[in-house]
A and B are shown apart, each in its own frame.
Chain A
Amino acid sequence: MTDELDKLESAFEATRPEPDHAARRRAVEAALGAYDAENATAAQGSAAGARPTRQRANWFARLIGGLPMRLTYKRLNPMLLGGASLATIAVAMIVAYDYPKKRLEGPDFAIEQRQNAADTRDESVALRDDKANAPAPSVPAESAEVQGSASVQAVPSTKPQDRFQAQVPNAELEGNLAGAGNRSVDRLIGGTESDTRQADAPVLQKSVGEATGRDLAARRESSVLETEEMAAEPRSRVALKEAKQSTSSAQVKADDAVAPTYQDQGRDNFEEIEANPVKVVTEERVSTFSIDVDTASYSFVRGQILRGVLPQKDAVRVEEMVNYFPYDYPLPESRETPFRADVQVIPSPWNDQTRLMRIGIQGYALAEEEKPRSNLVFLIDSSGSMNAPDKLPLLKNALKLMLEALDPDDTVAIVTYAGAAGTVLESTPVSQAGRILAALERLHAGGSTAGAEGIRQAYQLAEANYDAEGINRVILATDGDFNVGITDIGELEGFVERKRKTGVLLSVLGFGHGNLNDALMQALAQNGNGQAAYIDTLSEARKALVEEAGSTLFPIAKDVKIQIEFNPAAVAEYRLIGYETRMLRREDFNNDKVDAGEIGSGHRVTALYEITPAGAGQRQVDALRYQPVTELEANPSELAFLKVRYKPPGGDVSKLVETVIPRSAEFDASDSRTQETRFAAAVAGFGQLLRGGRHMGDFTYDDVAALAEGAKGPDRFGYRAEFLNLVRLAKSAAALEPLK
């Protein structure tokens, strides 16, 4: 009978768990986040600035620490025994440096390197300088001046391309033994040699060379080799375990290093949309919806198309695309009626049996001196996922732009959230722009995303500086990838909705693509009485934050709902284009408890209905044989009746504005007064085509372009010209982004 302990041991052996990579990563990220929080409280914010320096200063200590020394030696010994002439063993270590960051820092780098070199000498681990050039694949035995008979070359390898790190995720640090005739290493190096050399930016090479007098030889080795060799060792289990550990320790840092250029693909998260159906007026006369001033969808669609890819269908919200563009609608006369509704009806460009009814709501534009003071809290996502050129760096620039649009007595505070949330800047008046800019510059991305905690702190800060007369707003800038703390959309919504009652508003700026959580951002902005904008370029940032700062910052009416009652004598069918996520129940129109969209100063909102006039030759829905026999007493000279409900920014009781839409609102397509309507129709047509073009007949992208071309107007900022380009690009865009 076998010994019970042996049985136990072999059972342990057989069932030893393999750590799950994702779980490991989550744990490590969460822990690093907590670690940051620990050290942030110790360092009170300056940790962010100090960290990179310390990291680099310590790099050799870590390198030694992270290197499985015992393995190195074990592999060394057989080779020594095998070749007595081997006087020198060169150990090349590669540190995959975070190159783009370093390059930005320019001259500092050389200094850092010198410090590193000094550090290196501090460690009593002797680093022997290898005088001879040691071109990577083979190290001539005589090339090294033998002191301890082993030389260690530390080669900070720099790497601008992400391919590098993707290919060799654990190249971060590898003890690599290269002796004469070490073919296995050569073989492995062969493929990556050119990459590595190319990566050695001349400037860096020089500075390192000057600092240390050491030639650079870059060497890389796949961990597979290491593992294979280890397997031959007698204490195979232990050795394998160590090999795994060393690989994994290399892995995490390689992952870190990959982050700057890593690009998620196809993980953008959008709420599903079912396009509004055609409704028959005799069955459902009333259409109710909440206005939507967001424009995020258009920017996202643009970003995708410019990348040569058609956006996913749910990313296309037609109303947001239409609302992206400024339209020239008549302005309301006074602040008493904060907005004015303007309606036009034109023949539908894609269906000769139908017409388009365009409803334009133009908000009152506050004069400069009327603008209330702003108390803003920037809530900035500084998690690792924000570490991409179109995220944090763009965000910093966007916020700098925004500072210009603010008044000197407005205040700005900055809260960041990564693994843990922290206040980077207490409320500071914009007149002290320098302090704000400095705080912005200090931001860096890293760690996981404790979004909920960040939101909580930001609200706290906004409430602490609450200005009853002014605008109190939290501006959340994120890619929406919350992964620590409350991550449930419903809970976050609930929180934001409660906070809204305290008078603090929430706007959301979305950044990045590949991993954008649009659904979450929309949910937050809608419940926080704010807007969601998607910033993909600096010019978009300018549009959203500077040109339209007024409408972004100063609401003139809130909970704006629109209800339209169609006249069955004039209109047989109708279909609301877009606004799928904003539909309201008929009874909600008069219920002041039901939340709806806000209008900012000078803002305009456009809604389009496709209507089939009564008496049209061909309807989209067949008329029923058994119609209720009713006399249509209604006046056929009226198309519909428009009702708009809104609340003043500070009020809780809604006001009602009513207008009749007369037949006189109908225009010919050729009428020059319909220019704005035609352009809106072109955008709506484009959006619907992107969504599949269910109601679009044989309307094509070319038709969209032709329609938009004819309605470009003065187009001061070139938005419409850009739209035209987009339409042309969409023709050749791929349906799905190819995997890179």
Chain B
Amino acid sequence: MAGKECPPYRALLQKNFPIPQGFPHPMRPMDDMLQERADEGLALCAANGDREAFGVLLERHYGLVLGVGMRLLGNRAEAEDLAQDVCIGLARKIRSFRGEAKFTTWLYQVVLNAGRDALRRRGTRAQAQSDFAQLDALNRAGEADRAAQAHWLRQALAALKPDLRETAILVLDQGLTHAEAGEVLGVSETTISWRLHEIRKALKAQAAREDAK
């Protein structure tokens, strides 16, 4: 291990994420490739035992993991637990990262899986615990609007079917394109578009029910 200076990820890197010729070239807009390479490069380093690369990767994407966790589980405490579990799990899983997909795509899959497990474990306690701490903090900060929004959002998400919820989180919250979301969820781009349509319908129905009350 000690003498293994150059892990075999380089060739792979170059093959899958080639660096554009002529870099650095300030007059050229930065290619998305490089941003990708930043993640995937790190992930491949981490898969090959580079501890610091792993650390940077975690730091960089902790927010992503927490954010998705928070949307799925509805409260910060559980989301932080989930995020920690995911991070610990990555220590092993990162080895299976081959650089064949975008790192974030892969990570979203990991987080969503963990989230589904967590929800399943929560089982009969179907009603997500309300994050009173967050609402309280917002209310105190005089941000009643945001508190109301947070409340509405939690209810709206909880009412959606799981696949719709995940789609909404990926596309509307995380800002993925339909194609990217499709890759994460293993469905086609058009399915995502269709699901968004479904979400719109479901939300409208919810609103109508609210009004009727």
Q: In the complex the two chains form, is A30's CB within 8 Å of B66's CB?
A: no
Residue in A5, A7, A27 whose CB lies within 8 Å of B196 = A5
21 residue pairs of the A-B complex, CB under 8 angstroms, read A3-B200, A7-B203, A8-B156, A8-B172, A9-B172, A11-B149, A11-B150, A11-B153, A15-B153, A42-B49, A54-B49, A54-B50, A55-B51, A62-B56, A70-B34, A80-B27, A115-B5, A122-B6, A126-B23, A252-B55, A253-B56
CA distance A131 to B71 in the complex (A): 52
Which of B's residues lie within 8 Å of A, judged by CB?
1-2, 4-6, 10, 19, 22-27, 29-30, 32, 34-35, 37-39, 41-42, 45-46, 49-56, 58-63, 66-67, 70-71, 76, 79-80, 83-84, 87-88, 90-92, 94-95, 134, 145-146, 149-150, 152-153, 156, 168, 172-173, 175, 196, 199-200, 203-204, 207
Q: In the complex the two chains form, is A124's CB within 8 Å of B19's CB?
A: yes
Residue in A11, A61, A89 whose CB lies within 8 Å of B45 = A61
Is A401 in the interface zone, CB < 8 Å from B? no
Known: A24-B62, A28-B59, A61-B41. A5 touches B51 (CB 8 A): no
CA distance A241 to B50 in the complex (A): 25
- Per-position contact with B for A131-151: 1 when CB-CB < 8 Å, else 0? 000000000000000001110
CA distance A53 to B79 in the complex (A): 36
CA distance A241 to B19 in the complex (A): 24
Q: In the complex the two chains form, is A23's CB within 8 Å of B149's CB?
A: no
Provide the residues of chain B in CB contact with A423, threshold 8 Å: none
Known: A55-B52, A253-B52. A62 touches B45 (CB 8 A): yes
Minimum distance in angstroms from A734 CB to a CB of chain B: 38
Q: Which residue of A lies closest to B206 (CB)?
A: A4
Provide the residues of chain A in CB contact with B62, threshold 8 Å: 19, 24, 27-28, 248
Provide the residues of chain A in CB contact with B199, threshold 8 Å: 4-5, 8
Minimum distance in angstroms from B84 CB to a CB of chain A: 4
Q: In the complex the two chains form, is B51's CB within 8 Å of A36's CB?
A: yes
Q: Mark the stretch among A44-52, A294-302, A331-339, A461-469 that contacts chain B.
A: A44-52
User: How many A residues face the partner with a CB closer than 8 A?
Assistant: 78
Provide the residues of chain A in CB contact with B60, threshold 8 Å: 66, 245-246, 248-249
Provide the residues of chain A in CB contact with B150, threshold 8 Å: 11, 14-15
Q: In the complex the two chains form, is A19's CB within 8 Å of B2's CB?
A: no
Q: Apart from A24-B66, A47-B1, A55-B50, what 9 extra A-B contacts exist at CB < 8 Å?
A: A8-B203, A17-B79, A19-B62, A39-B51, A62-B42, A64-B41, A65-B39, A125-B24, A148-B23
CA distance A7 to B206 in the complex (A): 13
Minimum distance in angstroms from B37 CB to a CB of chain A: 7
CA distance A20 to B134 in the complex (A): 13
Minimum distance in angstroms from B96 CB to a CB of chain A: 12
Dominant SS among interface residues on chain B = helix
Q: In the complex the two chains form, is A35's CB within 8 Å of B25's CB?
A: no
Q: Which residue of B lies closest to A7 (CB)?
A: B203
Is A58 in the interface zone, CB < 8 Å from B? yes
Q: In the complex the two chains form, is A34's CB within 8 Å of B92's CB?
A: yes
Q: Mark the stretch among A71-79, A207-215, A612-620 that contacts chain B.
A: A71-79
Known: A4-B203, A65-B38, A126-B23. A252 touches B59 (CB 8 A): yes
Provide the residues of chain B in CB contact with A39, threshold 8 Å: 49, 51
Residue in A10, A14, A47, A68 whose CB lies within 8 Å of B38 = A68
Provide the residues of chain B in CB contact with A115, threshold 8 Å: 5
Known: A5-B200, A252-B59. A30 touches B87 (CB 8 A): yes
Is A543 in the interface zone, CB < 8 Å from B? no
CA distance A69 to B25 in the complex (A): 12
CA distance A8 to B22 in the complex (A): 43
Q: In the complex the two chains form, is A12's CB within 8 Å of B153's CB?
A: yes
Q: In the complex the two chains form, is B87's CB within 8 Å of A248's CB?
A: no
Residue in A36, A65, A152, A253 whose CB lies within 8 Å of B24 = A152
